[in-house]
Amino acid sequence: QEGRCPAILRQTLTGYLSWQERNRVTVRQTIGSPRIAPQWVAALMAAGATVSVEGDPAQEFPLAEWQPKKGRIAALHVPLGDVRLGEAHVGRTPADEPIVAAIAGVEMDGDRVAAARLFLTGVGPAPIWTAQAADRLRGRPLDETSIQAVAAAVEQEVAPQGDFRGSAEYRRAMAGVLTRRALLACLPQEVRA
């Protein structure tokens, strides 16, 4: 409900999850079992969210690095800074859970990428795939050429498994297309026009 909350966090949480499901599970359960809301957890990771775990002293980890063995989550921290977020997904219908989704978070230093995080769902054995190809953006301008190079690298990197909603080949192709769209959404509005 926070006005400064990135729209992508609201969209990925409310997109296909019913209000009953959202009220039934806790944030701790959702993070601990990302199959419940993988796009939302991926969006939190792309935003650079961190978690504090119980203990003396309490420790803080990037959400993308947290594992249950590191401790029980006491708090979730979502930075509301200058992270540019982009999301793209494909599903059978707009109300369905996405078959494949890509969520990107980009932090700029002037006209160069200072940090990039890219997470995909529906392209591997785990509910959320961390794309290492996003590291290729660091230190480079965020432009069509670098975005296309990352999208092509993601297609090679993912390890999708096909099912009744999409073959492995389809999911691999969509990983590249959706990565490109998510990163393009991170461009400033005047550049996208």
All domains of the chain, ordered by start, with CATH? 7-77 (no CATH), 84-188 (3.30.390.50)
Encoded tokens for 77: 């921290």
What's the pLDDT score for residue 192? 56
Angle at which helices 7-14 and 38-47 cross, to 10°: 170
What's the pLDDT score for residue 111? 92
β-partners of residue 62 are: 50
Q: Which residues, in sequence order, are CB contacts of 117 under 8 Å at separation 6+? A: 45, 46, 48, 64, 104, 105, 106, 134
Q: What is the pTM of this model?
A: 0.91
pLDDT in tens, the chain (193 residues): 567 788 899 888 888 788 898 889 999 998 988 888 999 999 999 999 999 999 878 899 999 998 888 888 999 999 988 899 999 999 998 888 899 999 999 999 999 999 999 999 999 888 899 989 999 999 999 999 999 999 999 999 999 999 999 999 999 999 999 999 999 999 986 555 4
